[in-house]
Amino acid sequence: MVKTELNKRSPLRVFEKSINGGVGKGNIGVIASKKGVGKTACLVHIATDKLFRDRHVIHVSFAQKVDHIITWYEDIFKEIAKKRELENAVEVHDEIIKNRVIMNFSKDGTNTDQVLASLRAMIVDGKFAADSVIFDGYDISEAGAEDVAKLKDFAKELNLEIWFSASLKGEDPVFLDNGVPEELSGRIDDIDVLVTLKFEGAYVRLQVVKDHGNLETKDMNLRLEPKTMLIAREQ
């Protein structure tokens, strides 16, 4: 399969459809689940899908080794290439990773201003034309209202789509009646798109809890493949 065909058939098109075409520039999307369900895999798949479509992505992580993150991308790419029998996989890979930058920050002592200053330096001074920024490991539920406002302004100013992962505490996080995790209820107005991951039997299902103005839980008919951690259509 060639790249364009792969993009057309990607389950991420289903994902986009269920959130009204995507998070959209200047907006914030969040993937929430308890620990160890597959948030990072989801984010990396979303980022890789963007790279496949020649978009520029910055992956922001906190206190993870850069090598680990690169390995995530390599694995997800390999699985996609294998599943779709991608032609010229090596060339495609070398081409698309040019559009990805990983920015790593130490966990303690880094504040939102610093992160945004570094991002700005990368986009403006480094002339990296980012379309999306993936924040993995930034705790949006604990971030102050001021910080979230800064992030939103930043996304609007530089015309970025920003994805966050939110790690819900405990083995059995509490969800409100409208599907919103309790921990995120205070932030829900700032979030444009909220997707939750939940175990259902052997699989992890993806659900849209908030789709822009629409706060109504919908099933995406997508799940995480247990072996490859890829987002896939439900059969």
Partner 1 sequence: MKTDITNMRNIGISAHIDSGKTTLTERILYYCKRIHAIHEVRGKDGVGATMDSMELEKERGITIASAATNVTWKDHDINIIDTPGHVDFTIEVERALRVLDGAVLVLCSVAGVQSQSITVDRQMKRYNVPRIAFVNKCDRTGANPYKVKDQLVEKLGHNAVMIQIPIGLEDKHEGIVDLVTMKAVYFRGPDGDDIVIEEIPDHLKAEAEEKREEMLDAVSMFSDELMEAMMEENVTEELIHDAIRRGTLSQELTPVCLGSAYKNKGVQSLLDAVVAYLPNPTEVENIALDLDNNEAEVKLESVEDKPTVALAFKLEDGQYGQLTYIRVYQGTLKKGDELFNTRSKKKFKVGRLIKMHSDHMEDINEALTGDIAALFGIDCASGDTFNSPGLNYSMTSMFVPAPVISLAISPKDKKAADNMGKALNRFTKEDPTFRTFVDPESNQTIVQGMGELHLEVYIERMKREYNAEVEVGQPQVAYREAISKRADFNYTHKKQSGGSGQYGRVAGFIEPLKEGEYEFVNEVKGGAIPTEYIPACDKGFQSALAKGSLIGFPIVGVKVTINDGQSHSVDSSDMAFQIAAVGAFKEAYPKAKPVILEPIMKVSVEGPTEFQGNIFGSINQRRGIIVSSSDEGAFSTVEAEVPLSEMFGYSTTLRSLTQGKAEFTMEFLKYGKVPQSISEELIKEFQEKNKKDS
21 contact partners, CB below 8 Å, separation of at least 6: none
Say whether 141 sits in a helix, a strand or coil.
Answer: coil
Task: Please provide the DSSP assignment of 175-232 as one string.
Answer: B-TTS-BGGGGGGTTT-SEEEEEEEETTEEEEEEEEETTB---EEEEEEE-TTT--EE
Interface region with partner 1, contact rule CB under 8 A, candidates 100-108, 137-145, 196-204, 220-228: 100-108
> Which run of H or E residues covers position 146?
helix 145-157
Nearer to partner 1, 133 or 222 (CB): 133
2 binds partner 1 (CB under 8 A): no
> Which run of H or E residues covers position 77?
helix 66-83
Q: How many chain residues touch partner 1 (CB under 8 A)?
A: 25
Query: In the bound complex, what is the minimum distance in angstroms from residue 221's beta carbon to partner 1?
Result: 35
52 binds partner 1 (CB under 8 A): no
Q: What CA–CA distance (Å, rounded) separates 38 from 107? A: 20
Instruction: Report whether 178 contacts 192 (CB < 8 A).
Output: no
Query: In the bound complex, what is the minimum distance in angstroms from residue 167's beta carbon to partner 1?
Result: 21
Query: In the bound complex, what is the minimum distance in angstroms from residue 106's beta carbon to partner 1?
Result: 5
DSSP state of 159: T
**Residues 11-50: x where in contact with partner 1 by CB under 8 A, - otherwise, as a string:** ----------------------------------------
Query: In the bound complex, what is the minimum distance in angstroms from residue 100's beta carbon to partner 1?
Result: 8
76 binds partner 1 (CB under 8 A): no
Interface region with partner 1, contact rule CB under 8 A, candidates 105-113, 133-141, 201-209, 221-229: 105-113
176 binds partner 1 (CB under 8 A): no
**Residues 113-132: x where in contact with partner 1 by CB under 8 A, - otherwise, as a string:** -xx-xx-xxx-xxxxx----
Say whether 140 sits in a helix, a strand or coil.
Answer: coil
Instruction: Report whether 100 contacts 57 (CB < 8 A).
Output: yes
112 binds partner 1 (CB under 8 A): no
Query: In the bound complex, what is the minimum distance in angstroms from residue 222's beta carbon to partner 1?
Result: 30
Q: Please report, for residues 10, 186, 190, 206, the alpha-carbon distance to residue 145 in angstroms, rounded to integers and kept in the order given.
A: 36, 9, 9, 27
Nearer to partner 1, 115 or 220 (CB): 115
Say whether 115 sits in a helix, a strand or coil.
Answer: helix
| One residue of 104, 112, 185, 217 binding partner 1 per CB under 8 A | 104
